Copies of this chain bind each other. A is one copy, B any other.
Amino acid sequence: MGAKILVSVLLFSLLIFRSSSAPSKRIRAYRPCKRLVFYFHDILYDGTNSKNATAAIVGAPAWGNRIKLSGQNHFGNMVVFDDPITLDNNLHSTPVGRAQGFYFYDKKEIFTAWLGFSFVFNSSEHKGSINFVGNDPLMNKTRDVSVVGGTGDFFMTRGVATLMTDAFEGEVYFRLRVDVKLYECW
Smallest CB gap from A31: residue in B: B21
Cα–Cα, bound, A62→B60 (Å):
11
Question: A152 → chain B, closest Cβ, in Å?
Answer: 7
Interface residues of A in 112-128 (CB under 8 A from B): 112, 114, 116-118, 120, 126, 128
Q: Please state the number of chain copies in the assembly.
A: 3
Cα–Cα, bound, A160→B151 (Å):
7
Is the pair B120, A18 in contact by a Cβ cutoff of 8 Å? no
Is the pair B137, A134 in contact by a Cβ cutoff of 8 Å? no
Number of interface residues of A (CB under 8 A): 83
* A146 with B146, Cβ < 8 A, contacts A62-B56, A133-B131 known: no
Smallest CB gap from A133: residue in B: B131
Interface residues of A in 38-87 (CB under 8 A from B): 45, 47, 56-62, 65-67, 75-78, 80-82
Question: A64 → chain B, closest Cβ, in Å?
Answer: 8
A128 contacts across to B, CB distance below 8 A = 144
A-side residues, CB < 8 A to B, are 4-5, 8-9, 11-13, 15-16, 18-22, 24-25, 28, 30, 33-34, 45, 47, 56-62, 65-67, 75-78, 80-82, 98, 100-102, 104-108, 112, 114, 116-118, 120, 126, 128-129, 131, 133-135, 137, 144-156, 158-160, 182-186
